Structure 1
């Protein structure tokens, strides 16, 4: 069962990505010209996607992968090209429609786009779960519970990212709470790595899971920390 705070934030994300920021995200995730600031975000996202894909097997034939918070499906497409059967889910119907449109020719029917909650048990079991920048808007306890929920249905590994706690990101987060604006994205919640690792280690549902790898990408206005959760030997 998800927490009230998780459900409330998910609702905010749905509104933002499906109404407020549709055009901005459509441009950011395409080859269209963008501002210098957004160009750094695009470059950072490309670098992070490359990192997560490098942590997956080159040959994904016979595997089932969940792209949790898939956006317009760029990572889903690359995983499908490696042979994975991908379930690509996002809270935004508009982004899912863009994903279907952009991957219709190249995905060879290997991507099942869905609108909904990445924690929905009806999605079934997976070999791999990738949650790129889809947990960055949640508080650490909700992130841990989400990972515990996903781990119960994941056989190999979960790759996910968080917003690492830095002085600048913490200041921006505080400013966003003090000076809210109706068109601002739901706040990115900074996460302390030591606290995250402690909570993961203390979570009973994750007793057979460990952090295998970590990597940070810092590209201008994009800052994200990746982790790989794998099964203990």
Structure 2
């Protein structure tokens, strides 16, 4: 499925209270790879940003005066998102603002245009219970370089979130490696099938098994008994 990583910046925190979207950044993934087919809009919100919001995104009211209004880009954005899985960090916030903008234009809600909305904040909370799961915290935890993020920006944050999402969802079932031949014009890709190799199996010793069980007990406590390892390894009835 085609995936769109989306982020917004706004004039404040309350869509129902009259705050509006000032920036939208979208990054496209196909087969979990960046395509470069991205979208980025600055918008005239027809109101000033709150002082606290200005400290977060740094986008001045004057800069936005001559930018298009949401109505001018709504169809382009919805066509771009049509049928895709939309990936958002703290999706409830962004979707509420998109819904309000669409409502003001007499259009249906955002979710009617896309296949589904995936919230990476909810994913992270489930994977790392009790830990900080902001975008910056996840970048640090997953080794994503966010050194250029001095202020929030919709396109930059969407690009960072795309990397975070790929790391969050990287499974252990990929047995094929792509090797890029950079010396060949056109970039020929060779597929190496690891299933053709006989791998040596090393069993855990008693000390390693005991340490593993201790980690599982800690995960049981943190997740309220919902440790995926235990669920997945239970014998079939």
| Structure with a larger share of its residues in strand | 1
Q: What is the TM-score when the length of structure 2 is the normalising length? A: 0.27
| Greater C-alpha Rg | 2
Of structures 1 and 2, the one with the larger relative CO (CA 8 A, separation 6+) is 1
